[in-house]
Amino acid sequence: MSEAATGRLGAFDATDAPSMDGLRACVHCGICLPQCPTYRVLGEEMDSPRGRLYLMRAAAEGRTGLTPTLAHHLDLCLGCRACETACPSGVPFGQLLEATRGQLERRGIRAPETDRATLDFALNLFPNPGRLGSLLGMLRLYQWSGMQAVVRGLGLLTPFKKLHAMEALLPPLPRAPAPLPELTLARGRRRGRAGLLLGCVQRYFYPGVNADTVRLLSAAGWEVVVPREQPCCGALHLHAGRLDDFRGMARRFMAAFGDDVDLVVANAAGCGSALKAYGHWLREPEAEAFSATVRDVSEVLVDSELPLGELRETVTYHDACHLAHGQKVRSQPRELLKRIPGLVLVELGDSDLCCGSAGVYNLLEPDIAQELARRKVERIRETGARIVATGNPGCLMQIAQQCRAEGFAVEVVHPVSLLARALREP
Ligand code: SF4
Ligand code: SF4
């Protein structure tokens, strides 16, 4: 039987195989190479988009198998999708990467270099609010008892690279916030009903961002619904190629939101990008309809007139990859920040180059991640800004930890936090 008849594509089987048209769209021009963070750091063709596409296509054409070497080069990819933005041929790199990772995962083909234990730990932790809540309780105790100051001061974790990388990311933890109201009414003219995604990291590490988002949406005329039982959206599982787990999580997430909202609003770039991909990966009309309702918070607020007072600050903006490259949302957050009277927005060099966070990449590949964070902070210093704004909790943590490590006093915040500071409510 021919490959076309079986649905097989060379070394790939028919289940979620990467698109041959997508792979063939690459004309090897190399325009994407200078935009690729791993190519910039490692300087290796096989750690560039073109090299990775070459490997995927060779597997699809049966010239090579799905090997641990191929898995290794894909594991080193941040999944930032900067190559997609740069590519003049429209290569859908993100989908090809996720499909190939899906095949590798399902068949247990793994790179020996990859730290599976840390990846499995993260993938099991985030979808489980009970485990995440218990861990958070312990981390609060660690931080508030003064133990963290001792551990950091004496560098006790420095010999343990991964543990050190994880600990260094920990932002100052707030007290457990009161749950947000399940329903917040719109102020002024009602524009519709928006459901808010709380996000696993956002809700526990930056709960103020969610509270600010509700305030702003309400001031912009949106009635805000916050479903209490919100499962994880599955973004980490999608990027890791755990596609069946991802689809299960997506279905549970959609069920939690029901169908009585006009929009689903995300303030975490990685989560928003995953929600917008439900239609592609589930291939069901309900999922396509759901994805069509998803917006980043900046896409919603930019169409409203918020009453903003003065905020005399110099701010720079870092483009989170899954906002700029994954969702093509670039102008809206900048436009909103520029509307704040007194705020001066200074453009950041390489603003859309990954900071190294990339889901749990900074835990799996701390050396590359730290080098990217170092370069990011170098660019931030050049702006002279006192505040860095960015629309993803992973980027907030990653940039803040590098600034702390360098003793560089800059505030790292979500753009909605600045808008909420400037909001003048009646
Ligand atoms: S997704 Fe990012 S890291 Fe991966 S190949 Fe593309 S530009 Fe490079
Ligand atoms: S992915 Fe696009 S930009 Fe990169 S080499 Fe292929 S065609 Fe050129």
Encode pLDDT of 23-81 as tens digits.
999 999 999 999 999 999 999 999 999 999 999 999 999 999 999 999 999 999 999 99
98-102, 225-229, 266-270, 277-281: least confidently modelled range? 225-229
Give the angle 420-375-157 at the CA atoms, nearest 5°.
85
129 pLDDT band, cuts 50/70/90, is confident
Amino acid identity of 40?
R
Number of helical (H) and strand (E) elements in the chain, helices listed first: 25, 9
Token pair listed for 212: 């600010």
Q: What is the pLDDT of residues 338-365, one digit of tens each?
A: 999 999 999 999 999 999 999 999 999 9
**Helix or strand or coil: residue 29?**
coil
Instruction: Judge whether residue 292 has pLDDT over 60.
Output: yes
- Beta carbons of 359 and 270 less than 8 angstroms apart: yes
Instruction: Judge whether residue 239 has pLDDT over 90.
Output: yes
d(CA 387, CA 378): 14
Ligand closest to 324 (CA) is 1
Mean pLDDT of the chain: 94
Q: Which of 372, 398, 379 is nearest to 40 (CA)?
A: 372
Provide mean pLDDT across the span 263-272: 98
Residue 80 Cβ contacting ligand 1 at under 6 Å? yes
d(CA 150, CA 292): 49
d(CA 426, CA 417): 19
4 pLDDT band, cuts 50/70/90, is very low
- Dihedral sign (CA 48, 243, 205, 341): positive
Instruction: Judge whether residue 399 has pLDDT over 60.
Output: yes
pTM of whole model > 0.85? yes
For tokens 């919603």, the residue is 300
Instruction: Judge whether residue 112 has pLDDT over 70.
Output: yes
Going from the Cα of 53 to the center of ligand 2, the distance in angstroms, rounded, reads 9
pLDDT of residue 174: 81
Provide mean pLDDT across the span 130-155: 88
Going from the Cα of 181 to the center of ligand 1, the distance in angstroms, rounded, reads 39
pLDDT of residue 260: 87
Going from the Cα of 327 to the center of ligand 1, the distance in angstroms, rounded, reads 15
Atom of ligand 1 lying closest to residue 94 CA: 1
For tokens 């997430």, the residue is 253
Sheet of 314-317, strand order: 344-346, 314-317, 387-389, 411-413
Q: Which of 197, 234, 229, 189 is nearest to 213 (CA)?
A: 197
Concatenating the DSSP letter of every residue in 140-191 gives: HHHHHTTHHHHHHHHTTTTTSHHHHHHHHHPPPPPPPPPPPPSEEPPPSS--
Amino acid identity of 122?
A
**Helix or strand or coil: residue 225?**
strand
Token pair listed for 276: 């917008």
* Bigger pLDDT: 9 vs 225: 225
Instruction: Name residues contacting ligand 2 (CB within 6 A).
Output: 26-32, 49-50, 53, 83, 86-87, 89, 91
- Beta carbons of 268 and 197 less than 8 angstroms apart: yes
pLDDT of residue 7: 58
Instruction: Judge whether residue 2 has pLDDT over 60.
Output: no
C-alpha neighbours within 13 Å on the C-beta side of residue 252: 13
Instruction: Judge whether residue 5 has pLDDT over 50.
Output: no
Atom of ligand 2 lying closest to residue 25 CA: 7
Residue 276 Cβ contacting ligand 1 at under 6 Å? no
Percent of the chain at pLDDT above 90? 82
- Beta carbons of 397 and 326 less than 8 angstroms apart: no
For tokens 């218990």, the residue is 134
